[in-house]
Amino acid sequence: MEQQPTNIWIWSAIAVLWLLPLLSFVIGLVLWRKRKSGLGKFSTSLLAVSTLLSWLIFGINFGVPESLLSLSWWKVGTTEFSFSLALSGITQLLLVIVNTVSLLVHVYSLEYMKDDPGKNRYFACLGLFTFSMLGIVLSDSLLLIFCFWELVGTSSYFLIGFWYKKESAALASFKAFLVNRVGDLGFLIGICLIYAIFRTLSISELQTMVDAVQWKGEVFNFERNGELITSSPFMFTVISICLLGGAVGKSAQFPLQVWLPDAMEGPTPVSALIHAATMVAAGIYFVARVFFLFTPPALFIVAFIGAITAVMGAVAAISQYDIKKVLAFSTISQLGFMVLALGVGGREEGLFHLATHAAFKAGLFLAAGSIIHAMHRFAHETHAHFDAQDMRLMGGIKKYMPTTFLVFLLLALAISGIPMFSGFLSKDAIITKAFSWASAEGGVRWLVPILALFSAFLTAFYMSRLVMLVFFGSNKTPGLGEKSGLTENGKLITIPLMVLAGGSLWIWFNWNPFGQGSWLMDLVATGRSTISGLYLETTNEIPHKTIAIISILASLTGVGLGYVMYDEDEHQTIAELEETTTKPGFWSELSFNNWYLNELYDQTVVYSFNQLTKASSWADRRVIDPLINLTGVLMVVASVVVGWFDKKVVDGLVLLTVRITEFFGNIARSFQGGAVQKYIAWSLFFTLLVVTWILIK
Partner 1 sequence: MMNYLLSLIIWTPVAGALIVLLMKDRQATAIRWISLGAVLLQLAGSSILLFQFYQSPESSGSYSIESFQFVEKADWITMDLGSWGVLSIDYLLGVDGLSVPLLWMSTLILVIGMISSWSITKQEKGYFALYLLLSSSIIGCFVALDFFLFYIFFEFMLLPMYFLIGIWGGIRREYASIKFFLYTLVGSVLILVAMIGLYISVSDPTEILADGRLVRTFNLLHMSDPANFIAGSILDPSYLKEWGGVSIRSLAFLFLFVGFIIKLPAVPFHTWLPDAHVEAPTPVSVVLAGILLKIGGYGLLRTAYPIFPEAALDYSWWVGFLGVIAIIYGGFNAMAQSDLKKLIAYSSVSHMGFVLLGIAAGTTEGYAGAVFQMVSHGFISAALFLIAGVLYDRTHDRMIENYSGLAEKMPYFTAVTVFFFFASLGLPGLSGFIGELLVFLGAFQSSSINGQVPQWMAVLATFGLVLSAAYYLWTLQRMFYGRLALREVAWKDMLTELTNREWLMFIPLIFIVLLLGIFPHFLLDLMNGSINQLKELVFENGNTIIQSLNSEGS
Handedness of CA 325, 307, 242, 596 (dihedral sign): positive
Q: How far is the CB of 76 from partner 1 (least distance, A)?
A: 5
CB 345 within 8 A of CB 438: no
Helix or strand or coil: residue 34?
Answer: coil
* DSSP conformational letter for 543: P
- The residue (of 136 and 368) whose beta carbon lies closer to partner 1 is 136
H helices of 344-421, in order, are: 347-382, 397-400, 402-416
CB 335 within 8 A of CB 320: no
- The residue (of 385 and 614) whose beta carbon lies closer to partner 1 is 614
Q: How far is the CB of 467 from partner 1 (least distance, A)?
A: 36
Report how far residue 121's alpha carbon sits from residue 104's, in angstroms, rounded to the nearest whole number: 18
Q: How far is the CB of 164 from partner 1 (least distance, A)?
A: 4
Give which of 244, 246, 239, 69 is closest to 146, Cα–Cα. Answer: 246
Q: How far is the CB of 691 from partner 1 (least distance, A)?
A: 51
Q: How far is the CB of 272 from partner 1 (least distance, A)?
A: 24
- The residue (of 75 and 545) whose beta carbon lies closer to partner 1 is 75
* DSSP conformational letter for 86: E
Helix 8-30 and helix 39-60: axis angle, to 10°? 170
- The residue (of 169 and 458) whose beta carbon lies closer to partner 1 is 169
Q: How far is the CB of 284 from partner 1 (least distance, A)?
A: 21
Q: How far is the CB of 188 from partner 1 (least distance, A)?
A: 6
Q: How far is the CB of 358 from partner 1 (least distance, A)?
A: 25
Long-range contacts of 254-258 (CB under 8 A, 24+ apart): 254/305, 254/308, 254/309, 254/312, 254/336, 255/597, 256/179, 256/180, 256/182, 256/183, 257/309, 257/312, 257/313, 257/332, 257/597, 258/175, 258/179, 258/594, 258/597, 258/598, 258/601
Residues binding partner 1 (CB under 8 A): 32-33, 73-79, 143, 146-148, 150-151, 154, 157, 161, 164-167, 169-171, 173-174, 177-178, 181-182, 184-185, 188-189, 192-193, 195-197, 609, 612-617, 619-620, 624-625, 627-628, 632, 635
Residues paired with 505 in a beta bridge: 421
Q: How far is the CB of 504 from partner 1 (least distance, A)?
A: 35
Calculate the CA 622 to chain-centre distance. 38
The secondary structure element, H or E, covering residue 523 is helix 519-524
Q: How far is the CB of 44 from partner 1 (least distance, A)?
A: 24
- The residue (of 157 and 378) whose beta carbon lies closer to partner 1 is 157
CB 533 within 8 A of CB 399: no
- The residue (of 105 and 179) whose beta carbon lies closer to partner 1 is 179
CB 340 within 8 A of CB 448: yes
- The residue (of 10 and 124) whose beta carbon lies closer to partner 1 is 124
Handedness of CA 38, 40, 44, 50 (dihedral sign): positive
- The residue (of 626 and 652) whose beta carbon lies closer to partner 1 is 626
Q: How far is the CB of 611 from partner 1 (least distance, A)?
A: 10
Residues 6+ apart with CB under 8 A from 2: 65
Report the 10 Å Cβ neighbour count for 435. 26
- The residue (of 165 and 216) whose beta carbon lies closer to partner 1 is 165
- The residue (of 580 and 616) whose beta carbon lies closer to partner 1 is 616
- 223 phi and psi angles, rounded to 5 deg: -105, 120
- The residue (of 185 and 655) whose beta carbon lies closer to partner 1 is 185
